[in-house]
Structure 1
């Protein structure tokens, strides 16, 4: 199986329109995942199932399943050194 990184997209304009940001307010929501799955579609479903209130914010929008709201990229073993997950709380 492959590893996949999922994150909210901020390169589109949906997030700056009032009431269209599934991650606002910023509590009880997931802001990223690293999952192991056969393909990107399965990875999105795993993230969706493990998500928080971002899945309930906008009627009819499942942000982890929708490429307009989130990215899903395969993590390859030939990539650069980077931190993939930080679980930090204030």
Structure 2
């Protein structure tokens, strides 16, 4: 009987841990930049998108950097690299 209860508890804990891992995963993947562009993602504090709380820049035009925090409220901007002058 003890073994049955222990197995039920372990199975429940594994189910909860698996569900938590799925819920904590990001909502979307970051877009991949083309050869001649960089991606800028600006993160905001809420749905009104008036208070910026973070930013990520990566790709082929600008230096990669990030600051602040990532939230589910964001805008994505594509920057095309300037041509050779």
Fold agreement, TM-score > 0.5? no
**Of Structure 1 and Structure 2, which has the larger fraction of its residues in helix?**
2
Rg larger for:
2
**Of Structure 1 and Structure 2, which has the larger fraction of its residues in strand?**
2
Normalised TM-score (structure 2)? 0.28
